[in-house]
Amino acid sequence: MPYLFTSESVSEGHPDKIADQISDALIDHFLAFDSSSKVACETLVTTGQVVLAGEVKSKVYLDVQQIARDVIRRIGYTKSEYMFEANSCGILSAIHEQSPDINQGVERANPEDQGAGDQGMMFGYATSETDNYMPLPLDLSHRILQELSSIRKTHADLMPYLRPDAKSQVTIEYSDDHQPIRIDTIVVSTQHDDFAEDATMLNRIREDIIHILIPRVKDQLPERLQRLFTDQITYHINPTGKFVIGGPHGDTGLTGRKIIVDTYGGRGAHGGGAFSGKDPSKVDRSAAYATRHIAKNLVAAGVCEEILVQVSYAIGVAKPTNIYVNTYGTSKVKLSDGEIALKVNEIFDLRPYAIEKRLKLRSPIYSETAAYGHMGRKPEIKKVQLRDATGQFVEHEVETFTWEKLDYVDKVKAAFGL
């Protein structure tokens, strides 16, 4: 019997995502000036206020207040009526030195023996239902908000009332054999300017979402997915009515509170650890990227149509405590999932140091990950320029989203005889 599955996304202006972006901007700045930095920083945002907290071991001193203001300004909180504005919000920093008890479990005389920064389990997932090997409900949810942000920032004449905060949700109907049949429901809630004629403007927002935003999203997709957009879609546009009060004034935001949005939209599994604000010695982040890299390359190589990969660690220990694979019965090779896991262990070195090196994780690449998902994004080589507390600039050429590269497909095919 067909079934429905739903995923959601939130915009860069959502309070939790503001917090994530500030935390990851701090990570980028620390790594840009001291690539060996160990950082775990959290951010809280609320009405007119930002609180920074966490632990750092680094050689560099940063103007963390200015970094936070720059992020808030880039997102679009630049007007006093938002009750949270880049130039005027208060910023309190309670960042302090990392515990030596934790650090002793990570750093080693031989870098390859670097231990995991904490215990825990991490999951990677991939599916063939989209070209970027992501679950379709989440991919569409992200695309809707990315396009809404693009309209707000670069095509403001189309929807001039938009404010930064927004959420989306997409429900897909699947067949018995887990293939997308149609889009059942699309939910979009977007913050907007205040209006005298509420009913008139709410109707305009609904019409603009359906007739301007959604067609622009649809045009980005291959034909097989465009066919899922029918006239039978149920739309809920700002279903509670007006949405003027938003952002940190409407809801307090915290780093690490959108971990399902950041990963697979509820498909597969999640180990519980957040990503943003953590340097790559924290396997919550680096091993989650590594398992996504594994999962995507295995599906792309034709080992299976869908896969979940789990890895786990003990704090201070380099070698994973397990590697688990579940192909959900979609395997195309004559091996059990346990045997596939053994081959994965042969192909991919999952020690923390090896992950950092393979995926080039000690670079300032994290700000882009902090909104619209860490997975399913396009790898790029680009230059980033960052400034320390003294005003000194440093420029790095970096490669973003390396865990999305299909650079192990040939190795996987060779190992599995494909």
Residues 379 and 287 in one domain: yes
The Cα 251–Cα 8 span in angstroms is: 18
Residues 392 and 305 in one domain: yes
pLDDT at 237: 97
Question: Does 114 map to a domain?
Answer: no
pLDDT at 104: 54
Residues 305 and 207 in one domain: no
Residues 172 and 236 in one domain: yes
Q: Which two tokens stand for residue 193?
A: 């300017």
pLDDT at 388: 81
What are the contacts of 404-407 at 24+ separation with CB within 8 A? 404/132, 404/292, 404/293, 404/296, 404/375, 404/376, 404/377, 404/378, 404/379, 405/293, 405/379, 406/296, 406/297, 406/300, 407/297
| Residues in the chain where the model's pLDDT stays below 50 | none
Instruction: Tell me the binding residues for ATP.
Output: 14, 165-167, 242-243, 251, 257-258, 274, 278
Question: Does 64 map to a domain?
Answer: no
The Cα 210–Cα 228 span in angstroms is: 15
The Cα 369–Cα 276 span in angstroms is: 8
Residues 286 and 406 in one domain: yes
pTM greater than 0.85 (yes/no)? yes
The secondary structure of residue 116, as a DSSP letter, is B
Question: Does 407 map to a domain?
Answer: yes
Per the CB < 8 A criterion, the answer to whether 56 and 37 are in contact is yes
The Cα 38–Cα 56 span in angstroms is: 6
Per the CB < 8 A criterion, the answer to whether 230 and 182 are in contact is yes
pLDDT at 17: 98
Which residues, 6+ apart, have CB-to-CB distance to 32 below 8 Å? Answer: 364, 384, 386, 394, 396
Residues 290 and 411 in one domain: yes
pLDDT at 108: 54
Reported in sequence order, the residue ranges of 360-411 that DSSP labels E, i.e. its strands, are 380-387, 393-400
Instruction: Tell me the binding residues for Mg(2+).
Output: 16
* Amino acid code (one letter) for 231: D
Question: Does 81 map to a domain?
Answer: no
| Dihedral sign (CA 238, 240, 242, 247) | negative
Instruction: Tell me the binding residues for K(+).
Output: 42
Residue where a domain terminates, one of 245, 270, 300: 245
Question: Does 288 map to a domain?
Answer: yes
Q: How many domains does the chain have?
A: 2
Question: Does 164 map to a domain?
Answer: yes
User: Burial letters for 316-329: b for 16+ Cβ neighbours within 10 Å, e otherwise?
Assistant: bebebeebbbbbee
Residues 238 and 284 in one domain: no
Residues 163 and 234 in one domain: yes
Residues 293 and 220 in one domain: no
Question: Does 214 map to a domain?
Answer: yes
Instruction: Tell me the binding residues for L-methionine.
Output: 55, 98, 251, 282
Nearest partner of 296 among 263, 320, 318, 336, judged by Cα: 263
Per the CB < 8 A criterion, the answer to whether 48 and 89 are in contact is yes
Domain limits at 188? 3-8+136-245
Instruction: Tell me the binding residues.
Output: 14, 16, 42, 55, 98, 165-167, 242-243, 251, 257-258, 274, 278, 282
Residues 290 and 174 in one domain: no
Residues 320 and 230 in one domain: no
In sequence order, the β-bridge partners of residue 278 are 40
Q: What is the CATH number of the domain that holds 203?
A: 3.30.300.10
Which region, left, alpha or beta, applies to residue 196 given φ > 0 means left and ψ of -120 to 50 means alpha?
alpha
Residues 300 and 378 in one domain: yes
Question: Does 312 map to a domain?
Answer: yes
